[in-house]
Copies of this chain bind each other. A is one copy, B any other.
């Protein structure tokens, strides 16, 4: 056995496991940032979503994304996974159905496993944005459709040998392929769903609805940060010592400066260093460095992360202003910074980092050609995913329905959807919901911690 194939396979599988673990990170961040009355529902969604993704990607998604075919989608090797797995271990000409991913010599099922955990990530991004009002079954159905059809199509364009790859667009580990795809799908869902009751007052007020468990959210953030050491360095799908070490450092650097950027920005704008913003700054830095991690220098990664941290705070404020209700900041993190990170390839890329790939970006004398490809890719993927998701969300709404009843939303989805509480031994604080019980004070921006209903006697 070729030692390189052994090392490549170890690296691919171990980093895939780290990416799998990000499911736990998302579960913790999202449930921690939401209210206790919806905790079981969010945990359930984040737990089942990878099961759904596994089945959807195995049955349909993988073949559409990586199967040989045309520039829009794969047409070979559809339905489950199969065909020859002969290259490049044997040195033969590749005889399988997935030429676009034949550049790595790891076994076919290692490629599938690695790509599966990426597909699952896109689906789990959606769950946070639509939290606290979506029906369980509707979320499950959309997740299947996303992983079976939407994600693999746009993914084929970039990673499956499709038209954007041909155009010279580069997205190393998926700022666009994974994160902004999840983000666009989430944006469509949030628009179709509408905001949570109480988030935006009739008088134009914007109410913060604090998360119920910041320890849980912080655990999630650490797990996601860890998982990103699989996400980015693992995307080499090969144990290339110099490159994987480089990507570990750029990835970590962007997370660090993302933390600093968001913390300082929230300190200045909100008067206090908000932990939620610090966490989202970390994730923003990680999302932003995902596309360029293998193409930019360490110093550039520090700048990219810092900017991402600033951007995410401004984006959270912006989405509130335009009355888009995203309970966990998923749009600000994954959509906005997915776009930003993809642009950064066109700005910060340096040829020496991965010779023969991007060439130099705009800031390093490479001109605007690369940046133009990146912009076309961002726009094309955004338009397709947003519209396709809008269609699927609308179909679900028109058939089985999308949103729980008002009564269920007030009582909490845990009882309505699942029949139990997350924390039955604990006394949950009594509060009331302004829209129901009225009173002008409860509509002001400062009673956010009281926009909560009496659930337990």
Q: Is the CB of A245 within 8 A of B425?
A: no
Chain B neighbourhood of A112, CB < 8 A: 249
Q: Which of A158-166, A174-182, A211-219, A312-320 contacts B (4 or more CB under 8 A)?
A: A211-219
Q: Which residue of B lies closest to A217 (CB)?
A: B43
Counting chain B CB atoms within 10 Å of each CB, the highest count among A11, A51, A276, A456 belongs to A51
Q: Which residue of B lies closest to A240 (CB)?
A: B1
Q: Is the CB of A245 within 8 A of B106?
A: yes
Q: Which residue of B lies closest to A14 (CB)?
A: B14
Q: Is the CB of B222 within 8 A of A47?
A: yes
- Categorize the interface residue count of chain A: 35 or more
A375 interfacial contact with B, CB 8 Å = no
Contact of A3 among B4, B43, B223, B427 (CB under 8 A): B4
Contact of A245 among B35, B43, B110 (CB under 8 A): B110
Q: Is the CB of B36 within 8 A of A426?
A: yes
For residue A385, give the distance in angstroms from its CB to the closest CB of chain B.
24
For residue A241, give the distance in angstroms from its CB to the closest CB of chain B.
4
A136 interfacial contact with B, CB 8 Å = yes
Q: Is the CB of B274 within 8 A of A419?
A: yes
Interface of A is mostly: helix
A397 interfacial contact with B, CB 8 Å = no
Number of chain copies forming the complex: 3
Q: Which residue of B lies closest to A255 (CB)?
A: B51
Chain B neighbourhood of A270, CB < 8 A: 419
A50 interfacial contact with B, CB 8 Å = yes
Q: Is the CB of B27 within 8 A of A222?
A: yes
Q: Which of A94-102, A257-265, A332-340, A358-366 contacts B (4 or more CB under 8 A)?
A: A257-265
Knowing that A110-B245, A426-B429 touch, tell me 13 more A-B residue pairs with CB under 8 angstroms. A1-B241, A7-B7, A17-B226, A17-B229, A36-B426, A54-B256, A58-B302, A106-B245, A107-B245, A211-B424, A271-B419, A275-B420, A426-B428
Nearest 4 pairs of A and B residues by beta carbon: A24-B222, A3-B3, A54-B256, A110-B245
B-contacting residues of A (Cβ < 8 Å)? 1, 3-11, 13-14, 16-18, 20-21, 23-24, 27-28, 31, 35-37, 39-40, 43-44, 46-48, 50-52, 54-55, 58, 80-81, 85, 106-110, 112-113, 116, 136, 210-216, 218-219, 221-223, 225-226, 229, 233, 239-242, 244-246, 248-249, 252-253, 255-257, 259-260, 263, 270-276, 278-279, 282, 298-299, 302, 417-429, 449, 452, 456
